[in-house]
Structure 1
Amino acid sequence: MKIAVIDAQGAGLGQTIIKKIRKEIEKDIYIIALGTNTFATSNMVKAGANVGISGERAISSFCRTNKIDGIIGPIGVMCSGSINGEITPLISKSIFNMECTKYILPLQKHGIYIPGTRNLQIKDIIEEIVFDIKNNLVLIS
């Protein structure tokens, strides 16, 4: 199974997600870190990603030319101009157009409010994502 994790800035969320996947699943999963900058990518690779890809063009190219099972990131990755401008229109469009499961963490930033998510903590959301990936991994095997 191939999973991509996308994050920006220092990739604190991306690191947390990758560490949780590695702890819970360990084998049979290939993780690609998609960082909007080299610092974010480096931090996600240190957290356990198999490979890292940095920058707008590289992320867009990866999204167009690779088949993956899922991509995980904060809701900002779907919104052009978000995360302090690090998510470009090309990145958000490339992620949106991927034919895979998109695990979007509904962070209440950028003036976006998703009803029904107010009582969820990030750790609970990540746990739910990892649970779904485990179930899909069993189905693929």
Structure 2
Amino acid sequence: MKIAVIDAQGAGIGQTVIKRFRKEFKNKIYIIALGTNITATQNMLKAGANEGFCGENEIIDFCIRQNVDAIIGPIGILISGGINGEITSAVSNSIIKMNCKKYIIPLQKHGLYIPYTANLQIKDMIEDIVTDIKQNI
């Protein structure tokens, strides 16, 4: 199974997801880090991703050409200007067009409010993703 994890800034969410997946799945899954900047990409590689792609052009090219089973990231990856402007409309569009399951972590940031998610903890959201992926391996 191949999974892409996308994040921006320092990739705090991406690192957390990758570390949890490595703990649960060891090397049974192949993880690709998609970072909007070099810091995000490097941090996800340090967390255990197998390979990484950095920046708008590499992320878009990856989304168009690669075949993955799933992509995981914070909700800002779907919004042009998301994650403090690091997600361009071209990046969000390429993610939406991917032919794979998309796991979106609904953070309550940047004026976004998703009903019924206010009390959810990130670790619980990640556990839910792990459970779903276990059923698909």
**TM-score, normalization by structure 1:** 0.95
Answering whether residue 13 of structure 2 is matched by residue 21 of structure 1, we say no
Q: Unaligned regions of 5+ residues in structure 2, if any?
A: none
Aligned length: 137
Aligned to 2:92: 92
Hey, what's the Cα distance between the residues in 2 that align with 1:12 and 1:106?
Answer: 14
Give the deviation of 1:27 after TM superposition: 2.6
What's the CA shift string for 1:80-138, capped at 9, x where partnerless? 0011110001110010110100000000112111112122110000010011111111x
CA distance in 2, matches of 1:106, 1:98: 19
> Which residue is equivalent to 1:72?
72
CA RMSD of aligned residues (A): 0.7
Aligned residue number for residue 12 of structure 1:
12
Q: What residue number does 1:34 align with?
A: 34
Provide the residue aligned with 2:116 in structure 1.
116
**Superposed structure 1 runs of 4+ greater than 4 Å apart:** none
The answer for unaligned runs of 5 or more in structure 1 is none
SS at the partner of 2:84? Answer: coil
User: Partners of 2:21 and 2:133 in 1: how far apart?
Assistant: 9
After superposition, give the CA deviation of every residue in 1:40-85 in whole Å (9 maximum; x if it has no partner).
Answer: 0000000000000000000000000011000000000000001111
Which letter maps to 1:8? A
Percentage identity across paired residues of the two chains: 66
Task: Look up the SS of the partner of 2:107 in the other structure.
Answer: coil
- Partner of 1:103: helix, strand, or coil? strand
> 2-side partners of 1:58 and 1:102: how far apart?
19
What TM-score results when the alignment is normalised by the length of structure 2?
0.98
Q: Distance in 2 between matches of 1:89 and 1:113?
A: 21
